[in-house]
Chain A
Amino acid sequence: MEALDAIEHDVDASFLPVQSDPELRAVYARWLGREGAVTLLMRRMPELPGPERKTFGQAINRVKDKVEAAKTVCEQRLREHARALDLGREPLDVSLPGRKPRVGRLHPLSRMMYDVIDAFVAMGFDVAEGPETDWETNNFERLGFPPDHPAMDMQDTFFLQQPDGATGPRALLRTHTSTVQVREMLSHAPPVMIVAPGAVYRRDDDATHSPMFAQIEGLVVDQGIALSHLRGTLDTFARKLFGERVTTRMRGSYFPFTEPSVELDASCALCGGSDPSCRMCKGSGWLEVGGAGMVHPTVLKNCGVDPEKYTGFAFGLGIDRLAMIRYQIPEISLLYQNDVRFLESL
């Protein structure tokens, strides 16, 4: 019993010098381990006479509780100490670079094109496509280009080499995505409501012209479609693309396959027309969005659509020009060189 009292007296002090988990385990084992002092005393309990055994047992349990409590206190102290050490350690140099998976970028033309497509798809347009090589029938004839007319000079064409003596229609690289108008109307009866993106080709090469460039064509054909719908559609589009404050204007123009033909301009989103040296609008206050018009009745007829029953509008936008404006690209050829240092800047 005296031994137990001595133990009880020493328990708390024995945990005080503990500085680590192994030390904690050793001190704990000194009391309650297989050969621990309390364990040894417990083992001797059967030797005691009945009445004493009960008292001794209660005392043992009290000492055991005391050891456990002291252990818990010590554990808590160690944890707090360790946490304080962790929190106080040398901070990370967070300016070291992150381990970043390489970011690949879509080409500026793709990004511009997808923004444009998404704006029209949100208005209910579906996406149509046609081949990049086509025949003069679809590129010119069915679109009502007058043969042997200066209108043909507006689109200087790349023709494909054909065997000598070939008699069929001439094959060419399409000069506009308007070929898809023809293909779409020939494929099914109205209503038609599509945008047709894609590469087109013209024999032109300077700072603002590339022999290959990207266009998107729009076509809506149904009963009761008027020029006011064209204006409303392109106005909505311009606001989606350039911002809600943008306004649009429509002015007369000429394309062989639309009548009336118009150009659509959007007010300059950058300066609103207030900056005479604006880099976006060059001081005019307006940006050309694209050419458009009501589908010429001859074109409808050529594609098997009754122009008395149906009317429609079409428009064409140059994606390269839009991308050049948006990303301030000084020369169109940069878009096709794919210099990584250029691509990575966008």
Chain B
Amino acid sequence: MKISYAWIVELLQTDPGLDRVVRALTDGGLEVEHVAQVGTHLQSVCVAVVQSVRAHPTSKNPLSLVTVDLGQGASLEVVCGASNVPAPGGCVLFAPAGAHVFDKKGSLFELVEKPVAGIVSKGMLCSEIELGLGGDDNGIIVLDAPVAAGTPLLTWFSAARDTVLELNVTPNRPDALGHLGVARDIAALLDLPFAEPSNEPHPTREATASEQFSVQIESDRCPRFSAAVMTVAGTTRSPLWLRTRLWRLGVRAIDSVVDCTNLVMFELGQPTHVYDLDAIEGHALTVRAARSDETLQTLDGKTRALLQGDVVIADAGKCVGLAGVMGGEGSGVSSGTTRLLLEAAHFDASAVRRMAKRHDMHTDASHRFERGVDPQCPPKALARLQHWLATVAGAVQAGKSLDIQRTDSVALQPREPLVVRTSRVARVLGVQITPSEIATYLSRLGFKMLSHEGDAQSVRAPTHRPDVLQEIDVIEEIGRVHGYDKIHNAVLPASGASAGARGDYALRRATRNALAASGLDEAVTYSFVSDRVLADFAMESSVRIANPLSQDRAALRPSLLPGLLQSAAVAVRYGERRGRLFEVGTVFGALQEVSRAQELTETRANRGPVQEHTCVGLVMMGEADQWLSLARPLDLFDLKGVVESLVERLGRGTVVADRVGEPPAWAHPAAFARLTLDGEVLGTIAVLHPDVRERFEASQSVTLPAVTLVGELRLSVLAGLSEVTLKAKAPPKTPAMVRDVALLVARSHPAASVVGALREGAGSRCVRAEIFDRYVGDELPEGTHSLAISLVFRGANEETLTDVQVDQWMQAALARATETLGATQR
């Protein structure tokens, strides 16, 4: 919402100082987002009086050479392209070389002396657009009345310089959608006197028979309708001050009548409308529900099919306006209009909001009505409109004004008194405010103080504050006027309590730290993915967004992997050859329909409408990280090691990798592992399936590194891991004895089973067995490999082992491996 500071000063009848006003508004909840000084570039512009005009001697364009008097004996011949140069004696505005004017795109540039079609012009005669005073680009500004040549523009027209404030008006403050309301708030916040402007009596006469009109309210969505007829000699161009005022607020002037309705709206926040009385069939307006087959051609030129629930203004034969949103084409004012029918009405906020939404028309009027205009305002706005029309357009009122009210309307009933307790104010704000301070603050805002009894004061909120409905709303007003900067910092009383709505925050945080420590970067990707990338992964989502921003972001992800791989691919497209990414995030299962009663039960259990799981997504691509040794491509054991160290960091547990069950579609069937943690399925790690890879590369236009490893884990399975379960062991007092052995064994036996057989055979003194090398080579028998395994023996308690004992256990271990797996020692 743009606010003219000059207008505010006019309404306050004093200038409190720009900085004070900006600070007060911002602190008081009407944040000033931007302050713009306008018109400061007009310093050297002055009034010039035309002395003579001649045609340009050579130019083919209709250029003229105008000699102007610049006062104090100075005169100048300037080149001018406008067709409306007045006859000698007419006053125009002259900008000399060096002045700044606006170009057609709205940016300022410096005027320089330069030849126009061969003749040098030392300045120019300016249009509204060029001076930033209005939207008219159709010719130069010609003053209505004579002004002395050489008078500076800013002297003759001081409002040409102004400050425009951009206010962020929150939806609860419809009163601040007009200058009067903003001025009232400033006065209350800065403790300045405030009075609404009064209207000069305007000329009135009896209505003739043909100036009679009637208004009828049939819809309960319209509690109040004020109307009157005025006559004019035809619409005219508004005076420059009005055109400039509107232009600075972001609206282009149209004609004297429409400009006056806009002026009233920007002043009072109340939209009004003016009809051409002669275009109103039967001179009768009815506010009623739209009929199903009706259409309305709105002022923006569109024909709209009206819907059930729409409220319209209609004459005897047709709709002439969509209530509170926009007027109709054909019934509005045009240049030949002489008889005006003025409307200032109140419409129900939610009705206007629904109409504006479904017809997709957000107008200045609907913006105000849907926030709640003061229901007592229509007669006031009508009077104000009459005042301006009389002043600006020379309008004369014919007959009496009407003010029709639906007495059954809630909006028009006197507002219920509210009780505000001094003690409650202190409890909420944390600062003591006396009853008399409370009364002062509220009176400044237009509240009526009704009575005062002990702790309680009874107050009535003003009708322009529809947001004030309860004691707490009154307390906020007291706090605003008192000033939030006067509320000190208090230390919280110690009142901590454990959270009731619990999630897996701690586990997610520990997991993130552990994975980062393993050298992976964390990614955060959108929860929505495209169907296309899901199809690449042969996945389908169970939940979709009903109103997505785009179809690319319509599906809630059933897995982290598609989005994570897309992220990993971003840098690959720029030549990055390695990728190490993880994400700890939510994946979404099926949506569950619930009744209202079930919803509360589910909420209390801290569940939502969709099954959500926290997952860990893993992507590793390219070569292993090393230096000064042979480059090595990653393999699945790099990723397996990441998971193993994750488990080890979170607590202790045994991760078992096997190939049980059907692998997910994204897993290479020969290079995937199902991981279980202490018997529970943790997830899958795999080389990306070549089919998935091919589809992904095609759809994402990327070539992934030769090795791309992916994995996904269920975080909840890691929940059992805990520091709490760890138990210390005293360091053994006897040395360990180590035996290494190389075994030739068929590759069809999992390495883990070879280790298992050795440990079984070696007995209880064997405390560890680890593979430390693996060799595959052509000289070995077909289908075999050699595993180098180290076995560690240690005596129980303080028992010291002998070589003879350990050699015996080693024999037993080898015998078991040979017997069960056919392994032979190399």
Contact = CB atoms under 8 A, between A and B. Distances in A.
A167 interface: yes
A141 to B, nearest CB: 10
Contact of B173 (A254, A296, A297): A254
Contacts of B28: 251-252
B485 A250 contact: yes
Is chain A's binding surface mostly helix, strand, loop or mixed? mixed
A114 B556 CA distance: 26
Nearest to A165: B593
Nearest to B169: A254
A254 B612 CA distance: 32
Contacts of A184: 499-501
A88 B118 CA distance: 88
Contacts of A344: 521
Interface in B771-810: none
A214 B520 CA distance: 22
Given A191-B496, A222-B495, A162 B593 contact: yes
Interface in A147-186: 148-151, 153-154, 158-163, 166-169, 171, 173, 180, 182-184, 186
A173 B526 CA distance: 12
A61 interface: no
B610 A105 contact: no
A46 to B, nearest CB: 42
Interface stretch (B9-17, B290-298, B511-519): B511-519
A227 B27 contact: no
Contact of B543 (A123, A160, A298): A160
Interface in B27-66: 27-31
Interface string B644-672: 00000000000000000000000000000
A235 B485 CA distance: 13
A296 B596 CA distance: 23
Interface stretch (B192-200, B215-223, B389-397, B475-483): B475-483
A131 B27 contact: no
Contacts of B625: 101-102
Contact of A110 (B501, B524, B527): B524
A87 interface: no
A227 B495 contact: no
A161 B543 contact: yes
B237 interface: no
A127 B505 contact: yes
Contact of A254 (B172, B350, B528): B172
B74 interface: no
Interface string B513-553: 10111111111111110000000000000011111110001
Nearest to B594: A168
B596 A168 contact: yes
Contacts of B513: 106
B543 A211 contact: no
A162 B494 CA distance: 45
A166 B524 CA distance: 33
Nearest to B488: A228
A341 interface: yes
Nearest to A259: B472
B627 A97 contact: yes
B500 to A, nearest CB: 3
Contacts of A103: 516, 519
B428 interface: yes
Contacts of A180: 501
B339 interface: no
B610 A192 contact: no
A126 B545 contact: no
A64 interface: no
A251 B29 CA distance: 6
B489 A228 contact: yes
A261 B570 contact: no
B250 to A, nearest CB: 20
B741 interface: no
Interface in A77-112: 96-97, 99, 101-107, 109-110
A128 B499 contact: yes
Interface in A198-236: 199, 201, 203, 205, 211-212, 214, 220, 222, 224-229, 231-233, 235-236
A193 B476 CA distance: 23
A294 interface: yes
A58 interface: no
Interface residues of A, number: 105
Interface stretch (A17-25, A27-35, A266-274, A330-338): A330-338
A262 B580 CA distance: 43
B487 A130 contact: no
A75 interface: no
A242 interface: no
B690 interface: no
Interface string B463-479: 00000001011011001
Given A235-B489, A251-B31, A154 B171 contact: yes
A321 to B, nearest CB: 15
Contact of A134 (B29, B349, B609): B609
Contacts of B158: none
B492 interface: yes
Nearest to A298: B470
A151 B370 CA distance: 10
Interface string A239-251: 0000000000111
| Residue among A99, A104, A114, A162 with max Cβ neighbours from chain B (10 Å) | A104
Interface stretch (B105-113, B257-265, B327-335, B598-606): B598-606
Given A124-B492, A227-B479, A341-B574, A205 B549 contact: yes
B337 interface: no
Contacts of B473: 259
B512 A106 contact: yes
B371 interface: yes
A220 B524 CA distance: 29
A289 to B, nearest CB: 14
A129 B502 contact: yes
A104 B515 contact: yes
A122 to B, nearest CB: 11
A336 B606 contact: no
Contacts of B500: 128, 183-184, 187-188, 192
B188 to A, nearest CB: 12
A155 to B, nearest CB: 11
A331 to B, nearest CB: 14
A125 interface: yes
Given A138-B603, A252-B27, A340 B581 contact: yes
A133 interface: yes
A162 B501 contact: no
Interface in B556-615: 556, 567-568, 570-571, 574, 576, 579-582, 586, 588, 591, 593-596, 598-600, 603-604, 606-610, 612
A135 interface: yes
B518 A104 contact: yes
Nearest to B585: A199
A169 B544 CA distance: 17
A340 B484 contact: no
B170 A104 contact: no
Given A149-B171, A211-B553, A340-B521, A129 B545 contact: no
A158 to B, nearest CB: 5
B430 interface: yes
Contact of A251 (B26, B544, B549, B574): B26
6 contacts: A103-B519, A105-B522, A131-B607, A229-B490, A229-B491, A232-B491
User: Lowest 6 A-B CB distances belong to which pairs?
Assistant: A252-B29, A129-B503, A228-B430, A226-B430, A187-B500, A131-B608
Interface of A: 96-97, 99, 101-107, 109-110, 114, 123-135, 137-138, 148-151, 153-154, 158-163, 166-169, 171, 173, 180, 182-184, 186-188, 190-194, 196-197, 199, 201, 203, 205, 211-212, 214, 220, 222, 224-229, 231-233, 235-236, 249-254, 259-263, 294, 296-298, 311, 335-341, 343-344
Given A104-B515, A128-B502, A161-B544, 5 more contacts: A109-B524, A110-B522, A110-B524, A232-B489, A249-B27
